[in-house]
Structure 1
C-alpha cells in the first residue's frame, strides 16, 4: 500500500460490551507487527478507554487540541507495541459531540499524518449517537463487531439501518466475537444478514471472520496488555492476525477518499446530514 493512500477504517458496534475497543487495539497491534504504520484514533470521545486497555497514561489528548490549541505531534502517543494512538478524554461532556469548528481543527491537524501512516483505525463509540454516525460516515471501511447476544444483533441492525436509510451507507464488514466455533459464528452472522435482507435493500455484509471466546482475552485486559502480544498463540490472537491479513488485502483506490485529508473533508461535507 502506498504511504500516501492510507486506509481509514472504523471498528464499530451497535452496543457496548462486545469487545470493540479490544479488537481495535489488537488489530492495530497485528498490523503494526506486520510492518505497517498504524495510528489508532480513540473516537469514543466522552468515554475513551484505549489508553486504559493498554495500561498507558498519555499526558495529552484530543481535548487539548480543541481547547488548548495543542499540536497533533504533542498529542500522538507512541505505544510500546509499535503503533501510535490519538487518545481522547473520558468523562468530559463537551467532547461528546464535536462542533463544526472542532471538526475543522481536526481536519487541519490530521493533514500532517497523510504521508506517515498506512492505516488509521477509528475506534468509535457504541450506538447511534452523532459521533458514532459521524465517524462511520467518513471511513472507507466499517468493521462491525457483533456477538451472539440478541441485544448485540438488534443494536447492530439499528446502526446499519440508520446509516443506510439516512446516509446511504450500504457496505459493512462483520467480525463475530466471543463465539464457540465457526458454526456459531456463521449462525450469528446469518441472523444479522437475514434481517438486513428482509428489511433493507442493497446492504452488503461481508463476514471477515470470528474471534473465539478465550479466557486469555480477559486475562490480558486485566493485565492491560494486548492479548496478541501477551498470548500470541492463543486462539483469539490467531483469529485477529487472520483478520489483519484480510484487512491488508482491502484495496484503496485513488478515486475514493483515499487519504486522510479527503477522509476529514468528507466528514465536513456530511455535516448537515448528521446534525
Structure 2
C-alpha cells in the first residue's frame, strides 16, 4: 500500500458545513489525481451518504456486527472517490466504546486498494469518537464559521483535543464567510485566544465563501464541485485541495493506512501505561 495522508475534519458544533467540506475536498483532491477514501465517522448520525443521495446496503454497523467485511461496504462516490458509510439513526453506534472505535480503525488495515488520502468526517462536538479519530489522524482540520457559538465551540474542541489527546497542531478552515479579510480576521481572533490560554499552534488553512450554488447542490444531493465546477465555492475547494496536497504525508513506520491504526494504538497504550502507574 502506498503512503496515505490522514485528515480528520471536525467542528465544535453542528451546522457549520463540516461534511460539505469533507465531501468537496475529497472530490477536488480526486480531480488532482489523488486516490481518496472518505470515511463517515459520525457513526450514529451518518450524513455523507445522505448528502450524496447514496443508499448503501451495508455500513460500519454491519462490520462491527460481523455480518460483512469492510471491503463489502465500500461505496463509489463522485469523481472516483471511495466512501466508507456509517449508520444513520442507530443509537448503539453513537454509544460505542474505545475498543469498538479501535476495531473500526483496525479494519481499515484490511483494505487492499491503494489510497493517497483518507479523509475522516468526524461527528461534531467533543465526543469520545471525535477524540479517538482525531488523535489517530495525521492532521486535524477544524471547520468554523463566524457565528459566536461556532467560534466558542471550536475553541472548546481545540482545548479538549489538546488536553485529552495531546494534539498541539490544528488547521483551521473558515467556512461560509463573505471575504478573505473576514476569514482571516475570524481566524486571528480564534488564534489570539488559543495562544493566550492553550499550548497549541493554529494554522490558517483557507476559507470557503458563502455561495448560493452550494445550497443548490445540497438540495440536489450532489457535491457543488461536481455539479457547479465554476462556482465560487467550488474554486475555493479547489484551492483548499491544492493547499492540502502540499501537506506532508506520513512518516510512520508502516507508511499506509496502518499508520492510522498505529497512531491510535500507540496512544491507547500510552494511556494504559499511565493509568497503571497511577494505580
Q: TM-score, normalised by structure 2?
A: 0.92
Change (3 A) 1:236 1:257: farther
Superposition pairs for residues 184-195 of structure 1, below 5 Å? 184-195=182-193
Measured after TM superposition, the shift of residue 69 of structure 1 is: 3.5
3-state SS, counterpart of residue 17 of structure 1: coil
Measured after TM superposition, the shift of residue 107 of structure 1 is: 4.1
Superposition pairs for residues 68-79 of structure 1, below 5 Å? 68-79=66-77
Change (3 A) 1:67 1:249: same
Q: Take 2:112 and 2:168, find their aligned partners in 1: how far apart are those partners?
A: 26
**Match 2:143 to one of 127, 142, 145:** 145
- Range with greater deviation from structure 2 (93-102 or 235-244): 93-102
3-state SS, counterpart of residue 123 of structure 1: strand
Per-residue CA distance 1:184-222 (angstroms, 9 max, x = gap):
001110111011011113x11110111110011111000
Q: Take 2:5 and 2:49, find their aligned partners in 1: how far apart are those partners?
A: 22
Q: TM-score, normalised by structure 1?
A: 0.93
3-state SS, counterpart of residue 126 of structure 1: coil
Kindly indicate whether the alpha-carbon contact (under 8 Å) linking 2:11 and 2:144 is maintained by their aligned counterparts in 1. Answer: yes
Measured after TM superposition, the shift of residue 37 of structure 1 is: 0.6
Q: Please report the RMSD computed on the Cα atoms of aligned residues, expressed in angstroms.
A: 1.9
Superposition pairs for residues 19-168 of structure 1, below 5 Å? 19-113=17-111, 116-168=114-166
- Range with greater deviation from structure 2 (23-32 or 64-73): 64-73
- Range with greater deviation from structure 2 (90-99 or 189-198): 90-99
Q: Take 1:259 and 1:97, find their aligned partners in 2: how far apart are those partners?
A: 29
Aligned to 1:240: 237
> Gapped runs of 5+ residues in structure 2?
none
Aligned to 2:256: 259
Q: Take 2:186 and 2:254, find their aligned partners in 1: how far apart are those partners?
A: 32
Measured after TM superposition, the shift of residue 115 of structure 1 is: 5.5
Kindly indicate whether the alpha-carbon contact (under 8 Å) linking 1:41 and 1:85 is maintained by their aligned counterparts in 2. Answer: yes
3-state SS, counterpart of residue 270 of structure 1: helix
Kindly indicate whether the alpha-carbon contact (under 8 Å) linking 1:60 and 1:74 is maintained by their aligned counterparts in 2. Answer: yes
3-state SS, counterpart of residue 56 of structure 1: coil
Aligned to 1:13: 11
**Match 2:205 to one of 195, 208, 229:** 208
Q: Take 1:132 and 1:211, find their aligned partners in 2: how far apart are those partners?
A: 23
3-state SS, counterpart of residue 217 of structure 1: helix
**Match 2:216 to one of 214, 219, 222:** 219
Q: Take 2:99 and 2:151, find their aligned partners in 1: how far apart are those partners?
A: 35
Measured after TM superposition, the shift of residue 101 of structure 1 is: 4.7
Alignment size in residue pairs: 272
> Gapped runs of 5+ residues in structure 1?
none
- Range with greater deviation from structure 2 (174-183 or 161-170): 161-170
